Structure 1
Amino acid sequence: MKSDFYWINEPQHWQQSGTALSVTTDAKTDFWSQTWYGFKRFSGHFYGCEVIGDFTFQVKVKADFSALYDQAGIMLMTDEDHWLKAGIEFNDGSPAIGSVLTLEHSDWATGHFPASADVFWMRITRKADSLRLQYSTDGKSWPLLRLAYFPASEKCRVGVMCCTPERAGLVVKFEDFLLTGALDKELHDLS
């Protein structure tokens, strides 16, 4: 793992061992802005680094999601008003795959996760002002989760995130961090 990763909203309990990061979430942590609920929260745990230009970032995530809005995955941000988070979020009694894109106001796109959510992979590719978001249930096949516009900027931050808006104590393990130049594959190439 790169040594230039740093915390935004560092949790009370975390440990780094080689290329793995284990986190236990603090109470009432979240990233959200305005839409539907009318509040703004920027208290979730983010561990990331600064990047310049186009890139691909991917990570393996392990967690036991059980309480409403438990969430973990990846995140990209330029500031508190411009960011994207994606991964598993527990809602309606089961884990779902989804993403929240915030360009001052948050949106939330969510759907059924087609496998056990205790282990999954997330990948994000930035290419100019576009984001390609993918997930994997096996680390081999990478379906498209979202293609989105995101304002181009000289640099931004990318990394992992986890939150528990309704409780504390979700234990998340992030492994196999990979940050490379942008994978410039065809949009429906699942590799």
Structure 2
Amino acid sequence: MQFKWMNESKLSESKDRLELYAPAHTDFFCSSESAGEEGITPESLCNAPYYYTEIKGDFVFKVKVSHEFVSTYDAAVVMIMKDMTCWAKHCFEKTDFDTHAVVSVVTNGESDDANGCNIEGNTVWLQAVRMGNAFAFHYSLDGEHFYMTRYFHLQVGDTVKVGLVAQSPQGEGGIRVFENLTIEHKTVKNIRAGK
């Protein structure tokens, strides 16, 4: 499957492993609100490296992610995109509460922001599932048992961009690691369960 760049960055690739570099002050977030003094409202940015492929129809996209969690909002991300104003991302992020958490953002013109489960350690599996215009995000600690983080709808066409983002909105950047990426072209029986 062919991957393309939006906001190209450094990439190191070996067997079943991608290391994607997040430059300083990079993110995908759309907000008409001004950023708060203490970072309560993230700044509007669409400049993070996005390494993606285009997938037609239903799918299951799964990858193991890890990073060093240096600065607030540093994250390794799976993102689904129709265009710059219609997209969703599933992040393993250093939150503004100083936790490592599975976070989701859905954007339809404006971005929302939802913290999910806190995770011990620096590694987790992220999964994105499509069934028509319905989507679900899941996480796993072992790559076998997945739990739903978010269920949502996006008005998209047959084909969407799906891929990996390395972000560092408030930090000086760093490496985000993605391993054992798989893409299955299938329709799941239960989108909430992801299988």
8 Å CA contact retained: 1:125, 1:182: no
Q: Does residue 65 of structure 1 match 2:63?
A: no
Q: Does residue 109 of structure 1 match 2:114?
A: yes
- 1:187 is displaced (CA, Å) by 4.5
Q: Does residue 81 of structure 1 match 2:81?
A: no
Corresponding residue of 1:24: 21
- Equivalent pairs, count: 187
Structure 2: runs of 5+ lacking an equivalent: 36-42
8 Å CA contact retained: 2:67, 2:175: yes
Q: What is the DSSP-based 3-state SS (H/G/I as helix, E as strand, rest coil) of the residue aligned with 1:139?
A: coil
Among all aligned residue pairs of Structure 1 and Structure 2, give the percentage whose two residues are the same amino acid: 27
| 4+ aligned runs moved over 4 Å, structure 1 | none
Letter in 2 for 1:96: A
8 Å CA contact retained: 2:79, 2:163: yes
Q: Does residue 99 of structure 1 match 2:104?
A: yes
8 Å CA contact retained: 2:75, 2:176: no
Deviation string for 1:49-105 (max 9, x for gaps)? Answer: 011111111111121112111011200001100111112111211212110000110
8 Å CA contact retained: 1:56, 1:124: yes
Structure 1: runs of 5+ lacking an equivalent: none
Corresponding residue of 1:119: 123
Over 3 Å counting, the alpha-carbon distance change for 1:37 and 1:100 in structure 2 is farther
Matches of 2:32 and 2:61 in 1, distance apart?
28
Calculate the TM-score normalised by the size of structure 1: 0.90
- 1:152 is displaced (CA, Å) by 3.0
- Out of 25, 34, 46, the position equivalent to 1:42 is 46
Q: Please give the root-mean-square deviation of Cα atoms over the aligned residues, in Å.
A: 1.8
